[in-house]
Structure 1
Amino acid sequence: MTDLTSYFEDIDHPEILALRSRLENPDAGVRRIALIELADLEEPEGLDWLANRLASDPATDVRAQAAALLEAWEEPEVVQALCEALTDAEPAVRDAAAQSLSVLKTVEAGRVILPWAGHADVSVRTAAFRALRELRLEDAAPAALHALADEDAGVRREAVGVLGWLKNTDALAALATLASQDPDSEVRRAATGALGLASNADVLPALRKALQDDAWQVREEAATTLGKVGQQDAGPALIDALADEYWQVRLRATRSLGRLRHVEALWPLVEVLTHGISNLRKEAALALGELRDGRARPALLQLEHDGDPEVRKAVRIALAQLP
C-alpha cells in the first residue's frame, strides 16, 4: 500500500485538497461522505486515498464504502486492494469488495484476481471465481477445473460458471459427472446448464439423467439445456417431461421441443394447449408454430379468443408460420 504520509503535499488538484479536512476527520460518518465526494470527482489522484482507506480505516462503514466506490476502476493496484479486502475481518467489507470485483470487465483485472482463486479461505475462493466468470480469462480454466473438486459447494458452483463462460469443452466430462452426482442441487443445476456449451450427443446421457433429478430446478435446467444442444435424440425425454409435476419444467420442455422442431412432439404439444396455466398454453402455441405442421391449425384456432392476450398473440405468431 502506498505511503500516504505526504499524500496531500503531492496533490495539486483543488477539489481534492478541499476535501482534506473531512477525509481526515475523526468522525467516521464525515469521512465516509467525503470518500463519496472524492470518488465522484473521478480523478486518478484520488485512487491512492480510496485504496488506503479500504485497507486501513478503523471504521467498518468507511472501509465498506471505499470498496464499493472502487468498483469503477480497473487499475491493477485497485484490483489488488479489492482482492486483499476479501480477507477483511468484517463481512460488510468482504461483501462490498466481492461485489466490486464481480463487475470488472478486463482480462488484465482477471490476471490480478486469478491467484486469489487458490486462497485458503473459502469465501475468498468463491469471490475470486465469481469475479473471473464473465472475464473469459483462458488462464483461469485449469484453476476452475481443479476447483470442481473443491470441498465447498459455492466454490464448485462458481468454478462451473467460469468454465461455462469459457465454453471449455475439456471440462465436459467433469461437468457431466457433477450434473448427475454432486450432492448439492445448485451445483448440479449449474453443471447441467454448462453442458449447453456442447453441440453433440455426448452430453445427452447426463442431461437425460438430470431430467430425472429429485430437484425440480435441476430438471428445469436440463429441459432448457436439451434444447440448446440441438440434438433430435433429446425429443423423447422432453416429451416425457411435459408430464412433470412442476409446470416450470413442462414450460421449458415445451420451449425446447419447439426449438428442436421435433416433429413427434406435435400431438403432445397440442394437448398442452388445453392446460389451465396460460404460460404453458402460450409456449405450446409458439412451439407448434416452430414445428410448421399444418395439422396444428384447428387446435390453435380454438385459442384465438383465449382470455390471456399473450396466448392470443402467440397463436397469431404460430398460425402465421404454418403452411
Structure 2
Amino acid sequence: MRLVATERCTDNPEILDLLPRLEADDAGVRRIALIELADLEDPDALPWLTDALLVDGADDVRAEAARLLEAWEEPEVVQALCAALADGAEAVRLAAAQSLSELKSPEAGQWILPWTTHADAFVRASALRALRELRLDDAAELALRALEDQDAAVRREAVAVLGWLKYAPALPALAKLAEHEPDTEVRRAAIGALGLARDLAVLPALVGALRDPAWQVREEAATTLGKVGHAQAGPALVAALGDGFWQVRLRAARSLGRLRHAQALDALADLLGHAIANLRKEAALALGELGQASALQALQAAEADSDPEVRKAVRIALAQLRGAA
C-alpha cells in the first residue's frame, strides 16, 4: 500500500508540489520525495512521513521514513516509531530503534513505556534502549522487572536504564545478575551499574567478579571497585594486578590509585617494568596518587622510560610525591 498524501491538509506550496511524487508508483521516487519533504522541516509534513513509515509497501521507503523522523518528538511520531519496531522488515525495525534512541525529551518516554512489555523481544529491548538516556522515573520499576526477561538483550538494556537512573533499590537484583547471569555482556553491564552508589553491600559481588571467566567482566569489576571507593576492595585489586590480561591489570592499577591503597606500592612499582606502555603509565599515575615517599626510587628509575606518555606520567607522579612531602 502506498502513502495517500491527498488525505492530508496543508497550505505549504512546497509540500503541495511534492504530492505527485509522494504518490508515485516508483518506490525510489517516493523515497527521494520523502527526503525533500523532511528537508522542509515543516510540522505540516509529519502526517506524510508517519504514513510512509506505517503503510508504504516498500521496505526502503519505510526505513527512510524512520530515519527522517529522528529529529521529531511529537507524540504521533514517537508512537509511529514504536509501532515500526514490530515491522516485518529488519531495516525498518533497526532504523526505528535508532531514531527512538536519539530522543532527548523525557515527555516522549511516556509513549514508549507500554512497548517495554511487548511480546517481541526486539521491541522490548529497543523501547528500553530509547528510555535509557531520558532518565524517566516511571521506567525504573519496568526495567527492574525486565531484569528477569528471558532475552539477554532485554536484560542488558534494562540494566542500562537502571544505571542511568541511579536506581538504588535495584542494587540487590544487579548484584544477583553479576554473580549468576549466564550472558557475559549482561554480567558486565550489571557490574558496571553496581557503581551507581557507594554501597558496601555490593562489594562481595564485585570482588567475586574479579575471578569471572571473561576478562571483560573482570576489567569492568576492577573499574567499578574504584568508583565505589571502599578500602576493603584493596587486597582483591592488588591480586588483580597479576591478572593474565593487561587490560584488567590497568583498571586495577587505576582503581588502587583512586583508593590510595598503600599496600599496593610494591606491586605497582613492579608494573613500571611491564612491556606494555599503557600499563606502565597507569602504574606510575597510581603511585603518585598513593603519595608514599617510598615510591620515589622506583619512579625516578622510570624517568628514562622509552615511551613519552610514560615519562609524562612519571613526572606527574613525582610532582605529586614531592608536593606531598
8 Å CA contact retained: 1:76, 1:108:
no
SS class of match (2:7): coil
SS class of match (1:265): helix
- Structure 1 residue 303: Cα displacement: 1.9
SS class of match (2:312): helix
Q: Which residue of 2 aligns with 1:13?
A: 12
- Structure 1 residue 305: Cα displacement: 2.4
8 Å CA contact retained: 1:102, 1:131:
yes
For 2:29 and 2:320, the matched residues in 1 are separated by 64
- Structure 1 residue 21: Cα displacement: 2.3
The worse-fitting range, judged by mean Cα deviation, of 307-316 and 223-232 is 307-316
Q: Which residue of 2 aligns with 1:265?
A: 264
For 1:164 and 1:278, the matched residues in 2 are separated by 32
Q: Which residue of 2 aligns with 1:163?
A: 162
SS class of match (2:304): coil
**Letter paired with 1:33:** I
Q: Which residue of 1 aligns with 2:28?
A: 29
Q: Which residue of 1 aligns with 2:118?
A: 119
**Letter paired with 1:212:** R
Q: Which residue of 1 aligns with 2:173?
A: 174
For 1:193 and 1:85, the matched residues in 2 are separated by 31
Alpha-carbon deviations, 1:79-131, whole Å to 9, x = none?
A: 00000000100000000000001111111111110100000111100101111
SS class of match (1:82): helix
SS class of match (1:89): coil
Q: Which residue of 1 aligns with 2:72?
A: 73
The number of residues matched between the two structures is 320
For 2:191 and 2:306, the matched residues in 1 are separated by 36
Alpha-carbon deviations, 1:189-215, whole Å to 9, x = none?
A: 110000001202111000011111111
**Letter paired with 1:85:** A
1:11-160 equivalent positions in 2, closer than 5 A: 11-160=10-159
8 Å CA contact retained: 2:5, 2:22:
no
The worse-fitting range, judged by mean Cα deviation, of 14-23 and 149-158 is 14-23
Identical counterparts, % of pairs: 68
For 1:304 and 1:14, the matched residues in 2 are separated by 71
Q: Tell me the TM-score normalised to structure 1 length.
A: 0.97
- Structure 1 residue 3: Cα displacement: 8.1
For 1:69 and 1:211, the matched residues in 2 are separated by 44
**Letter paired with 1:252:** R
Alpha-carbon deviations, 1:223-266, whole Å to 9, x = none?
A: 00000001000000000000000111011101111111111111
Q: Which residue of 2 aligns with 1:247?
A: 246
**Letter paired with 1:6:** E
Alpha-carbon deviations, 1:3-52, whole Å to 9, x = none?
A: 85432xx2111222222222222111111111111111111111111000
Structure 1 regions of 5+ residues with no counterpart?
none
For 2:29 and 2:129, the matched residues in 1 are separated by 33
SS class of match (2:302): coil
1:171-250 equivalent positions in 2, closer than 5 A: 171-250=170-249
For 1:19 and 1:307, the matched residues in 2 are separated by 64
**Letter paired with 2:170:** A
RMSD (Å), alpha carbons: 1.2
Q: Tell me the TM-score normalised to structure 2 length.
A: 0.96
Alpha-carbon deviations, 1:57-87, whole Å to 9, x = none?
A: 1110000000011111111110000000001
**Letter paired with 1:197:** L
For 2:7 and 2:88, the matched residues in 1 are separated by 28
For 2:166 and 2:291, the matched residues in 1 are separated by 32
For 1:71 and 1:115, the matched residues in 2 are separated by 20
Structure 2 regions of 5+ residues with no counterpart?
none
For 1:302 and 1:43, the matched residues in 2 are separated by 66
SS class of match (1:142): helix
